[in-house]
Structure 1
């Protein structure tokens, strides 16, 4: 049973005032590849002699597709499929997402469908299975697994995104090595590389990836890097033998493209929606500052954070809800604990799946954060509101920031209107749009 509207908790919060807020624009570097240009860029990359020679007529080729909300992922994947077909080979897509979807084959296929990756749209089969083969053991004694369908193909193309990880730091974070080890490793592979904790991921990830490269037919990788606006900025094919050299260089580019909340500090962060499509922990802590482990750092310096909703395409997976101080009944009612716990038990990061206090509605969530944040000026609370952590080009800020924004204290932040009261409906749902 969730919280009740008008109960003792509602009475405790009803007199907490929420300050006026205004919309603001954040400006970042805007290098981008237009969606209509993507097929041409993919074809150009796959036409390079050292890449194209690896695709031979008659080969059955597995192409990876993950669970993240990568910009234009359906366009990129279809372009790879088409190029493989043009070479006379036979492509198929493999869901490469570790334990996501509750570690169930059909659920992983459904996750891809949510991104527009279906057999009809891609023009090739999608072979989803949790069955794996053991490739060997890393130098640290970790077993390394691979999706059986991919392993039995004549070759594997690793399509993914390179970006900073949400829980640790190292030369290889979210990218090609992680897709080979965790994505293609399915639940068993994800569990193996996480089994020593996030503090050892920086060593285990490349060590396990080395076993993958040495014991399976990875043809090449074709990762993308995004800009600060969740748009495709770079697509590059990497020969297998260059992956360990090139990935850290592309990760540096991804770091340089990373957006941030430019005000740097806040009393309260309000996140409209979370989900696995935004980050493995629902929100990207590189933005929100809400870390699940001590092995990552950065993002907004904030006292209290509330999450208001869970994206439906996350299929009940609110892994990362434990990074909030407060969530709403709306999220609570969508939780699929079996999916959430499968995910966080596999990663061994239990905090991500822990249940924060649940309040009835959006208004109470914001009020609860204001009320429980210590040593702040409640009447002039510094509140930042975002849609999600992938889209922070436009945000909302409370009145306490207004004069400083107008006076240029925060370079890159521009006020779009004046502070106004937030509007809520009779049920306490937030109506004011960002």
Structure 2
């Protein structure tokens, strides 16, 4: 089969960022008057999640150091639902991968799957909280605000979601995901998080927003009473500066890497245009006929949730598939369809060849193809020659090369992008 030539292209996104994350976070804490809320001797549970958030370790360290300077006694707990294989050790290991440990933070990291019921929503849903966090005087969530991979709403992924699902561990995550079927994502998140906020347990939270390059664009400390309204504004900002692909329709999207540190669904569904969610409609665009994902990140620790969003994959990715971690994640989120193992092949070359054999009447050499490193890194991409004319008309794209043949190593795999 004759494969299309590819062209290296640079996407030009708005680049809002700052140099010193620690200073930015601590300035935010000063700006909302934390010292008037936290008393000396208060125990404070700082929640950190399972996502690969830029500057997460720096931000968490900035918070715990600030709290210690006030005489408080902070500790860190994993606020990640059922992730990390739904074990205390596994969740501690996830934090360690992101640079968060007792050694790096100089505070205890307390991990348990035990929870306490803090009350019930108006719908009769129990609201769970990590037992260590429940025993503390205060709970401080730290999370990135961004589009969710399962639904669209005025709040999606952020502090509110962490207060509903993350801090509730496996019991909470399991309950809320089941409730989504009856009440919808946003309603369950809003009502569950609101109960914790209204209880007075949460004095403030820290929201992080990333730009299209995966860098921290802004950090915002938010008092409890303002979390909902501020998060709505931050979500709109996040969507405005988030990375997207420049083409709405493709014959084949090649994704080099998927993983939990990239997206909760391995690949960002808003980038690839596939939700595969039981009660949410598929987006009209983008619309990509075939998707090939080639490998799983080491940081995922075998959790291949989202592999089923692709049509094709490789044996090397499937060999990294940890059934326990993946199944636990998908059963809890009630999304087993997202981790069905697709057709998988010994090499990238074989997978690409088969994929292009399933695109209809268009000759493979004329296929509309985009190759990306991951859905988190979209600044430099490869596009097939058939897309070049359209790309030359886009002011947001810079052409970096002449058309070049797809290169493969001795094993038939693509070299790094």
Same fold by TM-score, threshold 0.5 exceeded?
yes
Other-structure match for 1:150? 133
1:90-109 to structure 2, matched below 5 A, reads 90-109=73-92
Q: Does 1:288 align with 2:267?
A: no
- Asked whether the 8 Å contact 2:5–2:365 carries over to 1, the reply is no
C-alpha RMSD of matched pairs (Å): 1.4
The separation in 2 between residues aligned to 1:49 and 1:417, in whole angstroms, is 49
- Asked whether the 8 Å contact 1:66–1:183 carries over to 2, the reply is yes
CA spacing shift, 1:362–1:413, aligned 2, 3 Å: same
> What stretches of structure 1 of length at least 5 have no aligned partner?
1-15
The CA deviation string for residues 86-109 of structure 1, in whole angstroms up to 9 with x for no partner, is 111111111111111111111111
- Asked whether the 8 Å contact 1:164–1:173 carries over to 2, the reply is yes
- Asked whether the 8 Å contact 1:276–1:314 carries over to 2, the reply is yes
- Asked whether the 8 Å contact 2:292–2:313 carries over to 1, the reply is yes
Give SS of 1:403's match. Answer: helix
- Asked whether the 8 Å contact 2:32–2:221 carries over to 1, the reply is no
Other-structure match for 2:71? 88
The CA deviation string for residues 143-173 of structure 1, in whole angstroms up to 9 with x for no partner, is 2100000111111111111001001111221
CA spacing shift, 1:424–1:288, aligned 2, 3 Å: same
Other-structure match for 2:323? 337
Which of 272, 279, 289 does residue 256 from structure 2 map onto?
272
Give SS of 1:94's match. Answer: strand
1:288-307 to structure 2, matched below 5 A, reads 288-293=272-277, 294-295=280-281, 297=283, 300-307=286-293
Deviation at 1:250, TM superposition (A): 1.1
Give SS of 1:47's match. Answer: helix
Deviation at 1:274, TM superposition (A): 0.3
The separation in 1 between residues aligned to 2:49 and 2:118, in whole angstroms, is 21
**Normalised TM-score (structure 1):** 0.92
> What stretches of structure 2 of length at least 5 have no aligned partner?
none
Other-structure match for 1:171? 154
**Normalised TM-score (structure 2):** 0.96
Between the two proteins, the alignment pairs up a number of residues equal to 414
Deviation at 1:359, TM superposition (A): 1.3
CA spacing shift, 1:83–1:136, aligned 2, 3 Å: same
Other-structure match for 2:380? 394
The separation in 2 between residues aligned to 1:103 and 1:256, in whole angstroms, is 34
Which of 56, 66, 82 does residue 39 from structure 2 map onto?
56
Deviation at 1:52, TM superposition (A): 2.7
Q: Does 1:120 align with 2:106?
A: no
CA spacing shift, 1:295–1:151, aligned 2, 3 Å: farther
- Asked whether the 8 Å contact 1:151–1:216 carries over to 2, the reply is no
- Asked whether the 8 Å contact 2:273–2:282 carries over to 1, the reply is no
Deviation at 1:364, TM superposition (A): 1.3
The CA deviation string for residues 194-237 of structure 1, in whole angstroms up to 9 with x for no partner, is 10346711111101112222346111011111111111011111
Q: Does 1:308 align with 2:294?
A: yes
Give SS of 1:196's match. Answer: helix
Deviation at 1:49, TM superposition (A): 4.9
1:12-411 to structure 2, matched below 5 A, reads 16-34=1-19, 37-197=20-180, 200-215=184-199, 217-293=201-277, 294-295=280-281, 297=283, 300-406=286-392, 408=393, 410-411=394-395
